[in-house]
Amino acid sequence: METTILDIEREALGALEQVADRAALEEWRVRYLGKKSPLSQVMRQLGSVAAEERPRVGEAVNRCRDRLQTAWETAKEALSERLLNERLASERVDVTLPGRRRERGALHPLVRVMQEVEDIFLGMGFTIAEGPEVETDEYNFEKLNLPKDHPARDMQDTFYLTDALLLRTHTSPMQVRTMEAMRPRVPVKVIVPGRVYRRDEDDATHSHAFNQIEGLVVDEGIRMSDLKGVLEQFARAMFGPDQAVRLRPSFFPFTEPSAEVDVRCINCGGAGCRVCKDTGWIEILGAGMVHPHVLDWAGYDHRRYSGFAFGMGVERIAMLKYGIEDIRHLYQNDLRLLRQFARPV
């Protein structure tokens, strides 16, 4: 009987050495320490052992069970430690590994220029408004003194959705919308950035979809010299402190008098070059004093109030500022162009 116990112990300890994971360990425990284990069977047979032998055999079984129990506990701890070490090793972070480089985005040059223009006008006390790109004929033309069949409409032929709805050809409808929303309060002092559309043939300086920034100031006593002063201030902030500005007489049905505004050619400084077509000047915007009709229709009596307005092409400003010779470069998303502007946002 006692040799059987020793065999059981040897076999159990041998099997314990083979245990490699928690499931096997549990299996081992059930098999050698459970109710149906060989040791329990020996205990059950104790009745058939001679009475004087019984205490010794019983004791031997108990000692054997104690040793197996201790061996199991030791194995369990060793296994836990091994599994933990394996996990630590497999999940170790190698801090010497170089990090993954993140591609850094940048503002598109047009967005950058828009923000610069906005900042300059915010600094002069303007607020920013936005208007709809799908506009009514009424606001895009009629309320701007451009009745149906007015020949000046041809200068801004566009994409019509219905007879009365179109993609706006300029941001000027927002002059009217802003005044209607503000009346009778003054001063009105707002800029309006936004996308506009025209049936222009695309070429180096024209696009069928482009961006404008409208400006409008209405108050008592606003004069042409205020317009010139604001635009000079803008040109110097945008292009440099010595930048000169020139107003050329022009025509817009919604301003009277009207002007086109040129800046001294950034490329040649006024000497004459290909960029300025040898004139020494480059046009950046249209402007003028708000026409009395437009003021009256929008709810500001022209006998009391006056105002100026301007509308600049954002692409043209960006091209001038950054020496981009073809407007189409701004829309093609060629990374070689965009990377040049990849300063941190």
**Binding positions for ligand FA5, rule: CB under 6 A:** 170, 172, 198, 200, 206-207, 210, 212, 252, 255, 258, 283-288, 309-313, 315-316
Spatial separation of the C-alpha atoms in residues 10 and 39, rounded to whole Å: 12
Q: What angle do CA 207, 320, 310 make, to 5 degrees?
A: 70
Place of tokens 């919308």: 177
Q: Which is nearer to ligand FA5, 193 or 311 (CB)?
A: 311
Q: Which is nearer to ligand FA5, 109 or 288 (CB)?
A: 288
Q: CB 243 → ligand FA5: shortest distance, Å?
A: 16
Spatial separation of the C-alpha atoms in residues 243 and 233, rounded to whole Å: 9
Q: DSSP 3-state assignment of 191?
A: strand
Q: Which is nearer to ligand FA5, 16 or 144 (CB)?
A: 144
Q: CB 321 → ligand FA5: shortest distance, Å?
A: 13
Cβ neighbour number for residue 41 with a 10 Å cutoff: 12
Q: Which residues pair with 249 in a beta bridge?
A: 259
**Token representation of residue 204:** 């180096």
Q: Which is nearer to ligand FA5, 178 or 207 (CB)?
A: 207
Q: CB 234 → ligand FA5: shortest distance, Å?
A: 14
Q: CB 162 → ligand FA5: shortest distance, Å?
A: 22
- The residue ranges of DSSP E strands in 27-151, in sequence order, are 127-128, 134-136
Q: CB 172 → ligand FA5: shortest distance, Å?
A: 4
Q: Which is nearer to ligand FA5, 166 or 285 (CB)?
A: 285
Exposure letters 237-251 (e unless 16+ CB within 10 A, then b): bbbeeeeebebeeee
Q: CB 267 → ligand FA5: shortest distance, Å?
A: 16
Please tell me whether the peptide bond between 241 and the residue prior to it is cis, using omega within 30 degrees of 0: no
User: Nearest residue to ligand FA5, using CB?
Assistant: 313
Q: Which is nearer to ligand FA5, 1 or 209 (CB)?
A: 209
